[in-house]
Amino acid sequence: MAQFIDMLWLEQGLSDNTLSSYRSDLKSFRQFLLANNSDVDSASFEDIQSFQHHLVSLNRAKTSVTRMISALRRFYNFLQTSELISSNPMAKIVMPKADKKLPKTLSQQQVEALLAAPDLEDAIECRDSAMLELLYATGMRVTELVSLQMSQISLQQGVIRVVGKGNKERLVPMGEMAIDAIENYLKTARNELLKNASDVLFPSKRGTQMTRQTFWHRIKAYAVRANINVDLSPHTLRHAFATHLVNHGADLRVVQLLLGHSDLSTTQIYTHVAKARLQELHSQHHPRA
C-alpha cells in the first residue's frame, strides 16, 4: 500500500490532501477485509461487492462511495501492473454513477457584502481583505491561495502565477480591485505580520504560512458579519467566480484555463448553474411561467 502512495506522489504529483484521502480509503478497505477473513492481496470480486454494499449500508454519500471504489480500481491496477497479484478483482466492478450536484455559490450582492466585511484598519483583516479579493478575482483554490509566495505575483503586469494540482502552473489575471487591495495590504499590513524574513505573500499572525483551515474559519466569520446565511464551503468563492463569469457570457474553455481544470467536463457543471439561474428567474418573473 505504501508503494502505491509513493507512486502517486512521485509520478502523478497529487496533493497532500488527495494522498491523505487515498490512505484513509485504503485503510478502511483493509479493515473491512480483515474483519471478513480476507486481505488486500487475496480479495475477490465478491469481497469488493460486499465492501460496496457495506458502504451503502453506512449511508455513505454516493460521491464518497464512488471516490472509494475509484481509489480501489487505481490501487488494483497498480498491483496488477507491478505483478503483485495475478488477477484483478476490480475488473468486473461497475462504477456507481455519482449524482451531478450543482456547486453552492453566492450571488454577486452576497460576494460584495463578504468582500466589504473586513476592517481595513486592522492588519490581519486588511490581509484577509486582500485574500478574499484575490480569491474571487482569480477563482484559485484556498490551498493555492495560502501557499502563495511573493515571487508568484506581478502587480505591474496584473497577473499571478498559480501552482495547482500536480504542480501545474497557470497565469491568471487579477483585476483592478484585487490589485488595489494587495497593494494596500503590502504597504500597510504585511510588514506588521511578518516576524522574520519570509517570501510568504499572506503570513499568519505568527508570521508563517497560514493553513487553509485557518483561512476557511475566517471566511465563515466574515460571512456571519455580512449576514450571509448560505451554507458555505471552501470552494464557494471559486464557484462564485466561475458561475459569475459564465453568467456574463465567458467562454467555457477560458473558465477551464482560469480554474486549472485538466478536463473541460469538470468545468461544464457551470453551464448547468447558469441554466438553473435562468430557469429560476423565468419562473419568478415570466407571466406565464
pLDDT in tens, 206-220: 888 999 899 999 999
Q: Where in the chain is the domain with CATH 1.10.443.10?
A: 108-284
Long-range contacts of 220-224 (CB under 8 A, 24+ apart): 222/114, 222/117, 222/118, 222/128, 222/132, 223/114, 223/117
Active site residue 235: yes
Alpha helices in 82-235 (DSSP H): 108-115, 123-138, 142-146, 176-188, 190-193, 212-225
Q: Which member of 165, 220, 272, 277 is catalytic?
A: 165
Q: Of the given ranges (121-125, 256-260, 279-283), which has the lowest mean pLDDT? A: 279-283
108-284 maps to which CATH number?
1.10.443.10
**What is the distance between the alpha carbons of residues 143 and 18, in angstroms, rounded to a whole number?**
12
Q: How confident is the model at residue 97 (pLDDT cuts 50, 70, 90)?
A: low
Q: Where in the chain is the domain with CATH 1.10.150.130?
A: 2-81
Report the chain's mean pLDDT, rounded to a whole number: 83
pLDDT over 70 (residue 58): yes
pLDDT over 60 (residue 158): yes
For residue 227, which phi and psi values (nearest 5 degrees)? 60, 40
Active site residue 238: yes
pLDDT over 60 (residue 177): yes
Specify the CATH number for 2-81; select among 1.10.150.130, 3.30.300.30, 3.40.640.10, 2.20.28.90.
1.10.150.130
The pLDDT of residue 71: 87
154 φψ region: left (φ > 0), alpha (ψ -120 to 50), beta (else): beta
Enter the C-alpha cell of residue 228. 450571509
**What is the distance between the alpha carbons of residues 101 and 41, in angstroms, rounded to a whole number?**
35
Enter the C-alpha cell of residue 214. 485557518
* H/E segment holding residue 169: strand 169-173
Active site residue 270: yes
The pLDDT of residue 266: 62
Q: Which member of 141, 190, 218, 239 is catalytic?
A: 141
